[in-house]
Chain A
Amino acid sequence: MNALHGFAGFALRRTLGAVVTLLAISVIVYVVFYAAPGDVAQITCGPRCSPAQVHQVAEQLRLDDPLYVRYLHFLQGVVVGHDYSTGTSVEHCSAPCLGMSYQSDQQVTQLILAKLPVTGSLALGAMVLWLLFGVGTGVLAAWRRGRLDERILTGITLAGWATPVFVVGLLLMVVICGQLQLLPFPQYVPFTEDPEQWAWNLLLPWLSLALIEAAKYARLTRSAMLETLAEDHVRTFRAYGVGERAIVGRHALRGAVGPLIALNANDLGSLFGGAVLTESLFGLPGIGRELVHAVNVVDLPVVVGMVVLTGFFVVLANAVADVLYAVADRRTVLS
């Protein structure tokens, strides 16, 4: 009875903590970007705005108000939404409203939502692959520890760990799409349109992302399992005649689950905020590429909105991971 109460309390505390963290992120991001030196209205509106447009933006951003009022206004938009006057008409931006892009005349939220399927497809597909490769390699490495094949395997994962994703992606693309012409140069096809083409086109981005990430997972799995294998309870099961296969597969792997959940949550969270490099490299129209575009044309509301959103995904993923972790390992709740 106490455990349930303790668990509910834990989940509540964790949620509150996540909300506080998120608020703090939004404050930092908002202040950093809107208190920066320079003419905010001009920067926000973009280089091609007329003085009249700049003036209108300044009004909408309430530049005459103190910074904290402006921040609260931004926050109000996130919670209840805003109405924007575009001169002639009034556009409603419903909650969670992260502002308007003055350069594309679009609401940031909608802009992001439109790109989410691309980024989501990329992240989730890659996750499946990296978990398969990474955890598989890690288990194998822990199982065959010290032997030649394990050392070669560990060497390969180290190389994967070391390489920046765009280097791998570049080489894969050049070799597979360019030289061998085994796959088309990736072009995003929505899943709803043609699942086969969707997967076919995403295969290369998935692979490049997964190859890099898998190395991390393999190392983590291996070291967590070896750490468990050195613990006393493993000695107990050895002393009771439990075979090596069961010890590695059941007891050692179980010890790696917690750290794996934590790492995976963090990776997935930040990828949802935009797999910036992979998307840019393969020209996938996802959140990450949108961000690079927004950065290049200095579209501030989009930039701020995306950073806050990425923070949201990371915080959300970590909170979910913590709860999962607590379910998997109830000791954390009690401590």
Chain B
Amino acid sequence: MSEARAAAEGARAGTGTVLAPASGARQFWRRLRVQRAALVAAIVVALLVLLALTAPLLTAVEGQDPTTYHPELVDSARGGVPVGTFGGMSADHWLGVEPQTGRDLFARLVYGARVSLGVALAATVVEVAVGLVMGVAAGLGNRWVDQALSRFTDVVVALPLMVMSLALLAIVPSDFPRPVLVASVIGLIGWGSVAKIVRAQTLTLKQLDHVAAARLSGWGPWRIARRELLPALAAPVITYAALLFPVNISAEAALSFLGAGVKPPTPSWGQMLTSANVWYQAAPQYLLLPAGLLFVTVLALTVLGDGVRRALDPRAASRLSVGTGRRKETRA
């Protein structure tokens, strides 16, 4: 039914001159919009991004910054427990202060959002870029190129992300900008699965008759790759990137939690949790807020990624969502 309508819409639009490539983006939005969960997730993600982008503004409103120590706000006699109720919540410190140092918790959380989201985004970009290049090269190359690149990809996939990043982060000199380093390490270890998907997809696409037809038309390999392959690769790559993003958030948080990621004074949610379990009674928000933010962010991104997958590959999605969800999709 939606197919028929899409055809009808396309037909109406198609009576003009040669069209811009199919209203793929519009179709995508239409299919994403009807998934209520994905929509909510998208709003949550948008809010989080806004939070990260406006961090300086928000902290300026609060009148705090994420790095200034406030020794007067913690009780050094009791090991650094924040003074006052609810972990030192006050008009000055909206969410209280960090135990021991007295740094403003709200400021650290919103700046931490920048690090968490930024590092994960950069890592995802690296993974997609490297994976795309390697996958396409393996898919289009001759047997030897394919063999070599595929083997190499297998090796990279076998490298354990956590162990390898921990180890790598340990030997790099500490004056190297830490967030950049974390992003590139995660990215350079994690591209293997992208490359595998892209290679498989390229091999399938290469077999399609319209690619053979383009060869017969007299186009060179570069143009064929650009016109016939890359547009078709966009959907699976975007889908996979959307699912990788939350995984990278978790990875950064884990590395920072272990002390190998971003280092203080730079705030990151994972790193804030490093010693949170010690303080859960005196300052529960010190544990619950970063953990909660991590949870919400990763959940929202995963749900959104799922929605993106359904919107980009409606066939697979309708296969996977039998029942009420499906009916809703076809109605729209």
The reply to whether B158 and A311 form a contact with Cβ atoms under 8 Å apart is: yes
Contact, CB under 8 Å: B158 / A315: yes
Cβ < 8 Å to A, chain B residues 221-278: 246, 250, 253-254, 257-260, 270, 273, 276-277
Minimum distance in angstroms from A279 CB to a CB of chain B: 10
Residue of B nearest to A38 (CB): B173
A residues 9-41 in Cβ contact with B at 8 Å: 20-21, 24-25, 28-29, 32-33, 36-38
Are B151 and A226 within 8 A (Cβ)? Answer: no
**A residues less than 8 Å from B162 (CB atoms):** 270, 274, 276-277
A318 to B159, CA, bound (A): 12
Q: Which DSSP category, helix, strand, loop or mixed, fits chain B's interface? A: helix
Across the interface, do B325 and A170 meet the contact criterion of CB distance under 8 Å?
Answer: no
Q: Is A242 an interface residue (CB 8 A)?
A: no
Residues of chain A within 8 A (CB-CB) of B169 are: 295
Asked whether, in the complex, the Cβ of A273 is within 8 Å of the Cβ of B160, the reply is yes
- Which residue of B is nearest A163, CB measured? B295
A36–B152 CA distance with the chains assembled, in angstroms: 21
Do residues B320 and A223 form an inter-chain contact, with CB atoms below 8 A? yes
Interface string of B159-172 (1 = CB under 8 A from A): 11011101111111
Interface pair B254/A170, CB less than 8 Å apart = no
* CB-contact partner of A36 in B171, B280, B291, under 8 A: B171
Whether the pair A146, B281 counts as a contact (CB closer than 8 A) is no
Which B144-185 residues sit within 8 Å CB-CB of chain A?
151-152, 154-155, 158-160, 162-164, 166-173
Fill in one digit per residue for A129-165: 1 if any B CB lies within 8 Å of its CB, else 0. 0000000000000000111001100000011011111
Point out the residue from B171, B254, B280 that lies within 8 Å of A164, measured CB to CB: B254
Chain A CB within 8 A of B298 CB: yes
Return the chain A residue nearest B277 by Cβ. A170
CB-based nearest A residue for B252: A164
Q: Does B20 contact A (CB under 8 A)?
A: no
B-contact 0/1 string along A315-329, CB 8 Å cutoff: 100100000000000
Per a CB cutoff under 8 Å, which of B151, B163, B291, B322 touches A170? B291
Q: Are B253 and A164 in contact (CB under 8 A)?
A: yes
Q: Does A300 contact B (CB under 8 A)?
A: yes
Question: 23 A-B pairs, CB-CB below 8 angstroms?
Answer: A20-B151, A24-B155, A36-B171, A146-B322, A146-B323, A151-B324, A158-B299, A158-B302, A162-B299, A163-B298, A167-B294, A174-B277, A223-B320, A226-B319, A227-B319, A230-B319, A274-B163, A280-B257, A295-B170, A298-B171, A303-B170, A311-B158, A311-B160
Give the residues in chain A near B166, CB-CB below 8 Å. 276, 291-292, 295
Minimum Cβ distance to chain A for residue B284 (Å)? 9
Q: Is A6 an interface residue (CB 8 A)?
A: no
In the complex, which residues of chain A have a beta carbon less than 8 angstroms from the beta carbon of B287?
A: 170-171, 174
A273 to B166, CA, bound (A): 13
Q: Is A307 part of the contact surface with B, judged by Cβ < 8 Å?
A: yes
Which residue in A21, A310, A318 is a CB contact (below 8 Å) of B163?
A310
Complex: how many Å from CA A277 to CA B158?
19
- Which of A33, A37, A310 neighbours the largest number of chain B CB atoms within 10 Å of its CB? A310
* Band of interface residues on B: 35 or more
Q: How far is the CA of A182 from the CA of B112 in the complex (A)?
A: 34
Asked if A192 lies at the interface with its beta carbon under 8 angstroms from chain B, I say no
Q: Does B198 sit within 8 A of A, measured CB to CB? A: no
Q: Is A253 positioned at the interface, with any CB of B under 8 Å from its CB?
A: no
Q: Is A306 interfacial (CB 8 A cutoff)?
A: yes
Whole-angstrom distance between the Cβ of B165 and the nearest chain A Cβ: 10
Flag if B167 contacts A164 (CB, 8 Å).
no
| Chain A neighbourhood of B151, CB < 8 A | 20-21, 24
Closest to A28 in B: B155
Most chain B beta-carbon contacts within 10 A, residue among A167, A270, A306: A167
A188 is an interface residue with CB less than 8 A from chain B: no
| A280-B166 Cα distance, complex, nearest whole Å | 13
Question: Which listed residue, A24, A165, A300, touches B152 by the CB 8 Å rule?
Answer: A24
Verify if B109 is at the interface (C-beta below 8 Å from A).
Answer: no
Q: Is A206 an interface residue (CB 8 A)?
A: no
Which among A33, A166, A230 is the interface contact of B257 at CB below 8 angstroms? A166
- Mask for A215-227, Cβ within 8 A of B = 1, else 0? 0000000010011
A173 within 8 A of B: yes
A243–B259 alpha-carbon span in the complex (Å): 55
Structural contact, A164 and B319, CB atoms closer than 8 A: no
Query: Once the chains bind, are A170 and B276 in contact (CB under 8 Å)?
Result: yes
B302 touches A162 (CB 8 A): yes
Q: Tell whether, in the assembled complex, residue A174 and residue B280 are in contact, meaning their CB atoms are under 8 Å apart.
A: yes
How far does the alpha carbon of A146 sit from the alpha carbon of B246 in the complex, in Å?
26
B303 within 8 A of A: yes
A247 within 8 Å of B (CB atoms): no
Question: Are A310 and B160 in contact (CB-based, < 8 A)?
Answer: yes
Indicate which residue in A29, A146, A276 contacts B325 across the interface (CB closer than 8 Å).
A146
**Would you call A33 and B171 a contact (CB within 8 A)?**
yes
Q: How does the 8 Å CB contact mask read for A280-323 relative to B, with 1 for contact and 0 for none?
A: 10000000100110011010100110110011001100100000
Known: A158-B299, A161-B302, A164-B254. A318 touches B158 (CB 8 A): yes
Question: Of the candidates A43, A167, A295, which one forms a contact with B291 in the assembled complex, judged by CB atoms under 8 Å apart?
Answer: A167
Q: Do residues B170 and A298 form an inter-chain contact, with CB atoms below 8 A?
A: yes
Kindly state whether residue A178 has any CB partner on chain B within 8 Å: yes
Specify which chain B residues have a CB less than 8 angstroms from the CB of A291 in the assembled complex.
163, 166-167
- How far apart sit A115 and B263, CA to CA, in the bound complex (Å)? 28
B168, closest chain A residue (CB): A32
Q: Which residues of A contact B303 (CB under 8 A)?
A: 158
CA gap between A28 and B326 in the complex, in Å: 47
Enumerate chain A residues within 8 angstroms of B172, measured Cβ to Cβ: 36
Residues on B with beta carbons closer than 8 Å to the beta carbon of A229 = 322
A33 touches B167 (CB 8 A): yes
Q: Are B158 and A296 in contact (CB under 8 A)?
A: no
Q: Let me know if A25 and B158 touch, CB within 8 A.
A: yes
With A25-B159, A163-B298 as known contacts, state yes or no: A173 contacts B277, CB within 8 Å.
yes
B246: chain A residues within 8 A (beta carbon): 162
Q: How far is the CA of A25 from the CA of B152 in the complex (A)?
A: 9
